[in-house]
Amino acid sequence: MVVFLQKYGINPSNKLLVSYRGLVKKVALAISILAFVIIYFIPKEQSKFDKVIAENDSNKVASKHLIPNEKISIETSFEESAFATSEEYLFEAKEIRRCNTIPKTQDDLDDWLSKANEVGEPYEYIEDVLFRFERCSQFNFRSDDFVDLLFKAIELGSDNAVAELWAVSDREYFQSKGLDEFNREDIIEQRVKFNKLKYRLSENIALTGGEHALLRLVEGYQNYDPDTGNPNYIKAIAYADFGLNIVKSNDVYLKLDFMKQRISQSMDLRALEQAQKLTESLLSQFGENGN
C-alpha cells in the first residue's frame, strides 16, 4: 500500500502537510483509478490474449490440413507429368521390349541357364542375359504393352519411335497386345491392321520432316503397300523425292537419292509423272504444317 500510494504522489510520513481529509480524497482517487484499470484494461488485454491464442490454434489446425494437401498436390503433379513427353514414352517402351526377351523370375532364369549350358551358349551371351535380368528386375513396369507406348510416342511427334516401331516383329506385336493365341484368320486380320497403322503413323511423322519415317516408308513401299498388299513404287519414289527436298542430314539424303535412282530405272514415264504429282502434294502438306 505504501508503494502504491507513493506512485500517485502520496507520502504517508508527511502527516503535517497533508490533512486527513486530503489523504482520504487521494486514497479514494487511487482506489477509483485502480478499479478502473482492473475493470477496463485487464479484460481487454485478456481478450487480446485469447484472440491471439485462438488465432494460433486456428493456424495450427490450418497447417495440419495444409501439409497433407500440398503433398497430395505434388504427388498428383508428378503422376500427371510422368510420360508427358515422347522421349519418356519411347524410353519405357524400349526397356519393356528388351526385358520381354529374358526370363521373368529366378526360376525361369535357372531353367534358362541350365538349357544354355546344355547347348553351349557363348559365355558372353550368358553374361549379357544375366546383366539384363538384374537390370530388368529393378523396373516396375505398368504394362507389358510396349507397342501402345510407341504409338503414344509417335503421336507426340517422335521420329525415333517410328524407327523402333518398324523394328518390331509381328510376333512381338501379337505378344505385346495379347493376341498370340488368336486363330489364323484373326492373326492375319490383326497383322493387316498393325501394318496400316504403322504406315499411317509413319506418314504423319514424315510430313513433319521425320527422316527415320521417310526412310522406312521408301523402303517399305518398295515391298508392300498395306492398302493393296502389293509393292507401290509410285509412293516409294514420291516419298524419296519429297525427302530429297526437305531432309537436312547428308547421310539420309544420299540414301534417299540412291533408292530413288534405283526405283526410277524400272518405272515408265506415266508412273513417274504420278509420283511427281504425289511429291508435290506431300510438299504442299509439309508447308501447311508450318515447316
Residue at a domain's end among 57, 81, 105: 81
* Tally of residues, the chain: 291
Q: Is residue 178 part of a domain?
A: no
pLDDT at 62: 32
**Integer Cα distance of 195 and 177 in angstroms:** 14
**What is the domain range of residue 39?**
2-81
Q: Is residue 100 part of a domain?
A: no
| Model pLDDT for residues 138-178, shown as the tens digit of each residue | 887 777 789 999 999 999 999 999 999 999 998 899 888 88
Cβ 142 vs Cβ 95: under 8 Å: no
Q: Which of 229, 244, 234 is nearest to 269 (CA)?
A: 234
Q: Is residue 11 part of a domain?
A: yes
Q: Which of 157, 189, 162 is nearest to 174 (CA)?
A: 189
Q: What is the DSSP letter of 144?
A: S
The winner for highest mean pLDDT among 43-47, 183-187, 238-242 is 238-242
pLDDT at 22: 46
- What sign does the dihedral 219-222-224-228 (CA atoms) show? positive
Residue at a domain's end among 31, 64, 81: 81
Q: Is residue 156 part of a domain?
A: no
Cβ 170 vs Cβ 201: under 8 Å: no
Q: Which of 74, 268, 86 is nearest to 161 (CA)?
A: 86
Cβ 172 vs Cβ 97: under 8 Å: yes
| Model pLDDT for residues 203-258, shown as the tens digit of each residue | 999 999 999 999 999 999 999 999 999 999 999 999 999 999 999 999 999 999 99
Q: Is residue 239 part of a domain?
A: yes
Number of domains in the chain: 2
CA distance from start to end of the chain: 96
Residue at a domain's end among 81, 99, 126: 81
Q: Is residue 53 part of a domain?
A: yes
Q: Is residue 263 part of a domain?
A: yes
Residue 114 pLDDT greater than 60, yes or no = yes
